[in-house]
Amino acid sequence: MEYAVKSGSPEKQRTPCVVVGVFDSRRMSDAAKAMDDASEGAISAILRRGDMDGKAGQTLLLGQLPNTFADRVLLVGCGKERDFNEAAFAKAIALATQQLNNTGSIEAVLYFPELNVKGRDTAWKVRASVESIEDALYRFDAMKSSGDEAPRRPLKRVVIAVTRRKELTESELALEEGIAIAAGKKLTRDLGNLPGNVCTPSYLADQATKLASDSDLLSCAVLEEADMEKLGMGSLLSVSRGSRQPAKLIVMEYRGGAQDEKPIVLVGKGVTFDSGGISLKPGAAMDEMKYDMCGAASVFGVMQAVLQLRLAINLVGIIPTTENLPDGAATKPGDIVTAMNGTTIEILNTDAEGRLILCDALTYAERFEPDCVIDIATLTGACAIALGKQATGLFSNTSALANELLNAGRYTMDRAWEMPLWPEYEDQLKSNFADVANIGGREAGTVTAACFLSKFTRKQRWAHLDIAGTAWNSGADKGATGRPVPLLTQFVLDRCVE
C-alpha cells in the first residue's frame, strides 16, 4: 500500500474516491458539507431521502457529484458525534477500507483527520488511520495452495487529508511511524499464524539472521543447546528435552544510539508449540498453542518497526525458543533443575514452561547492562480470564517504568493494566525440595507467575507483559493480533524524544 498526506478541498480532488464522514442523525462532517455545497445539495437530498442516517457501520457509495472532480464519494457512518472516540475512529476507518477494497477504488482521499476525537491531535489520527487500514487489509494465506480470492481492483493508494498545511510536517512523521508500526504488526502476525511444523525454533533463528543481514544497524547471534549448557541454562533446556527440535537462544542487537548508551532489552517467550509436556493440555483448541511464541514474534515486530524508522536508540531482543512436547526424555513433574543464576526449581507442572525459559533469558540479559528489561509472554491463561482480550497484564518492580508502558498503551489503544507484585504472593512458590516451585497453585496464577520471574530480575529495572489474552483471537476471527507491538514501539519512540 502506498500512502501520502496532503491538504486541500475535497471537491477539488481528482481521485477515484473521496471518503467523508456523516454523523447520526444525518449531520455531515466539514468535508461532506464542502462536497454538498459544491454539488448544490446533492448529498443533503440523498440523506433526506433516508438512504443513510449516519449510524455507525453504515456506508453509502455515490457516483460523481455535480461540480466535483472525484469519480465517486463514499459516505461513512460515524455514529453519534458525542460518542465518537478512538475506537469508533478506528472502526470507521476499517469499514471505509473494506468498502474501498471491495468496490474497485484503487485510490482514495480520506477526510477523517478533520473529525474530532477527544484528546487526539491530527498526528495521532494520521497514524491511527494507517494502522487501521493495514489491519483491515491484513490476510494470511501463505499456507493456502491458491490463496484467498483477491479483489479484482484492490485498494493500492490512500491519501490522508489534513485540514491545515501547517500540519503537514508532523503528519508526514506520523505517517512514517504508522507505516513502520503496521509493518511490525504484520511481521508479528505472520510469524504467529504460521503452523508449528513450519515456525520451529530453527525457523525463528533463520528469520532473525535474515532480518539482521538486511541492516547495517542490527546484528544477530544464535546460541545452540551446547552453548546454553555451558552457560548453565538448565531451566531453559529442561523444556526442550521432549522435543526433536533443538532449542535456540536468539540475540538481536540494534545499535542506533550512542555507544555508551544503555540499551532497552526485550525478552520474548518463543514456545513454538506448547502441548503442556507431560502435564498434557486438553485436546480442545490445542492447535492455538502455536501462538505460544507470540512474545517472540512481538520482539521481531518491534525490531522491524525500529529498523524501518532507524531510531536513535540501542535495543536488544532476546528470544528463548523451544517446543514443549512429551516423550521419554521429557521433564517430569517433580523434577528439579538449576537455572543459570544457580536457583534450583522444582517443576510441579510442565505446562508452566514459559517462565522456565524466560528466567534463564532474563539472567542472560544482565550482560548487556540494560537501562531496563521488558519480557513479553503468553504466560498464563489466568490473565485472559482476569482481563479478557482488551488489556495486557503488566507487572513491574519499578513504578516509573510501569507508568511509561501504561502511557504508551493508552496512546496507541494497545492498553495494559497494572497488576500487583506484592511479596506476600511469593509464599505460594515455596518448595520443600528446591529454592522455588514453578507454580503457586490455582489462586492468583498470573501474579505468582510474575513473582517467579521477579526472582530473576532483582538487579534490573524490569517489567513483564502477559499477553495471553491479547496476542491472538479465537473463533471465526482466529489469528494473531500483532499486540503489543504498538505499545512497545511507542515506548521506544517516547524514549527517543526524552
Q: Which residues are catalytic?
A: 281, 355
Instruction: Kindly list the distances between the CA atom of residue 127 and the CA atoms of 4, 31, 74, 89, 395, in Å, as whole numbers in the listed order.
Output: 12, 20, 21, 12, 28
Q: How far is CA 478 from CA 29, 46, 481, in A?
A: 35, 38, 9
Amino acid at 484: P
DSSP 293: G
Closest to 304 (Cα-Cα) out of 294, 315, 291: 315
Judge whether 454 and 446 are in contact, CB under 8 Å: no
By the 8 A CB rule, do 254 and 306 touch?
A: yes
**Can you tell me the distance from the alpha carbon of 37 to that of 231, in angstroms, rounded to the nearest whole number?**
73
Report CA-CA distances (Å) from 44 to 12, 48, 206, 330: 19, 6, 58, 70
286 class by beta-carbon count within 10 Å (0-12 exposed, 13-18 middle, 19+ buried):
middle
Strands (E), 185-297: 218-223, 248-255, 264-268, 270-274
Residue 288: how many CB atoms within 10 A of its CB?
14
Helix (H, G, I), strand (E, B) or coil at 187: helix
CA angle 74, 76, 80 (to 5 degrees): 155
532474563: which residue's cell?
Answer: 362
Q: What is the DSSP string of 361-376?
A: HHHHGGGG--SEEEEE
* Cα atoms in the 13 Å half-sphere on the side-chain side of 81: 14
As given in the structure block, the three cell numbers for residue 111 are 477526510
Residue 314 and residue 254 in contact, taking contact as beta carbons nearer than 8 Å: yes
Cα separation, 429 vs 355, in Å, equals 13
Burial of 55 (0-12, 13-18, 19+ CB in 10 A): middle
